[in-house]
Amino acid sequence: MDEQMKSTARQCLAGAEAGSMTFPGILAALTQAGFEGYFVDFRRGAVIYYLPSGESIELSGAAPTAPVAIGFNATQVKEAIREAQVAAPGYTYKGFIEKVAEAGCAGYLVSILGRRVLYFGRTADLHIEHFPGSK
């Protein structure tokens, strides 16, 4: 992994956290840089970006202020996703993290190749969200 790819990953995480990049914009930047997906772990406060070669870069970030709830509430996770998708007034990525962690989401896996995101709880409950326009 070259420095430009590492820089792209850092810029995408910083852009999400600052609210200067949208999810579609992040996907476009990561795809252009050659990434095939990424994993967000709320319990560790870490994000790992993956290349098809198996190389990865791990960055600190995406940590909720409170521990992830034990029970997984898929309805609340879906509501937080919808707010993000429509850029609801007051939406922030940090607020999204807080909402989904309160709903029991321990993390999520973004598959650019599969065009979907898998949100999972501490109990391995799961919600799969397809990218808009795909299925």
Task: For residue 11, give both structure tokens.
Answer: 């810029």
Would you mind telling me the total number of residues written for the chain in this entry? Answer: 135
Q: Which amino acid is at 133?
A: G
Which residue ranges form the domains of the chain, and what is each CATH number?
3-130 (3.30.1810.10)
Residue 82 has pLDDT above 80, yes or no: yes
pTM: 0.93
How much is the pLDDT for 134?
62
Task: For residue 6, give both structure tokens.
Answer: 């590492």
Dihedral of CA 122/125/129/130: which sign? positive
99-120: per-residue pLDDT in tens? 999 999 999 999 999 999 999 9
**Among the ranges given (55-59, 89-93, 110-114, 131-135), the one the predictor scored with the smallest mean pLDDT:** 131-135
* Closest to 1 (Cα-Cα) out of 50, 37, 48: 50
Distance CA 67, CA 101 (A): 7
26-44: per-residue pLDDT in tens? 999 999 999 999 999 999 9
Residue 73 has pLDDT above 90, yes or no: yes
How much is the pLDDT for 62?
87
